[in-house]
């Protein structure tokens, strides 16, 4: 495992809320806003960049995508390994992150305690559980999201004209699992939107 003992330095960005770190904090440079993260990212070369973001903060998603797009295009950070840690799986957000050049995402428990070095070790080991394309392959392409407030949205089925609201075990065990491939609506969409 690559840790501070090996001299690695990580840039950790967390917004719009702060998390508590467990494990070693030496070697971590922490930014609490996208602008702060960008400033620090271009001030020196880091071994890795990790971004913690609460996926349900709908309004802040634009800033996250912009930050990721900047980090994947700037000369100093383009090749730096990056990972975005989210507290839930969200197909539409994954797609936007992928378009912004992000290849790795971690899905963490909604707990507020995180260990950036542990995630870093997974990133360095090229763990498949972090690959955004694999996450996307396990989420039904008919998942649709409709915001109903700043922090919540309805998840509906695009193969059923968005008239079916998804949640509970169907969402977890069918729509957000490879079993979506055998879902009756996926196989025979009534009307897609």
Nearest-angstrom CA–CA distance, 171 and 160: 14
Q: Are 181 and 168 in contact (CB under 8 A)?
A: no
Instruction: Give the per-residue contact string, 15-54, with ligand SF4 (x = CB under 6 A; - = no).
Output: ----------------------------------------
**Residue placing its CB nearer to ligand SF4 in the complex, 123 or 175:** 175
**Residue placing its CB nearer to ligand SF4 in the complex, 65 or 177:** 177
159 binds ligand SF4 (CB under 6 A): yes
Nearest-angstrom CA–CA distance, 77 and 75: 6
139 binds ligand SF4 (CB under 6 A): no
Stretch in the footprint of ligand SF4 (CB under 6 A) among 14-22, 51-59, 84-92, 175-183: 175-183
Stretch in the footprint of ligand SF4 (CB under 6 A) among 26-34, 88-96, 105-113, 178-186: 178-186
Q: What is the DSSP letter of 20?
A: E
Which long-range contacts (C-beta less than 8 Å, at least 24 apart) are formed by 175-182?
Answer: 175/139, 175/140, 175/142, 175/143, 176/89, 176/138, 176/139, 176/140, 176/143, 177/138, 178/137, 178/138, 180/138, 180/139, 180/140, 180/142
**Residue placing its CB nearer to ligand SF4 in the complex, 52 or 160:** 160
Choose, by CB under 6 A, the member of 174, 190, 191, 193 that binds ligand SF4. Answer: 174
Which stretches of the chain bind ligand SF4, using CB under 6 A?
Answer: 140, 142-143, 157, 159, 166, 174-175, 180, 183, 185-186
């Amino acid at each position: 495992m690559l840790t501070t003992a090996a001299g690695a330095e990580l840039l950790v960005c967390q917004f719009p809320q702060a998390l508590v770190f467990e494990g070693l904090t030496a070697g971590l440079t922490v930014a609490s806003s996208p602008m702060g993260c960008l400033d620090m990212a271009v001030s020196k070369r880091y071994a890795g960049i990790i971004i913690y973001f609460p996926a349900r903060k709908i309004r802040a998603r634009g800033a996250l995508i912009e930050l990721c797009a900047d980090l994947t295009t700037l000369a100093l950070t383009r090749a730096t390994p990056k990972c975005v840690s989210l507290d839930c799986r969200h197909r539409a957000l994954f797609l936007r992150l992928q378009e912004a050049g992000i290849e790795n995402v971690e899905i963490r428990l909604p707990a507020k305690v995180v260990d950036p070095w542990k995630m870093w070790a997974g990133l360095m080991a090229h763990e498949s559980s972090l690959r955004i394309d694999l996450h996307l392959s396990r989420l039904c392409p008919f998942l649709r999201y409709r915001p109903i407030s700043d922090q919540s949205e309805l998840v509906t089925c695009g193969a059923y004209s968005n008239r079916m609201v998804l949640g509970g075990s169907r969402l977890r065990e069918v729509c957000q699992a490879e079993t979506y491939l055998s879902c009756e609506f996926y196989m025979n969409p009534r009307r897609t939107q």
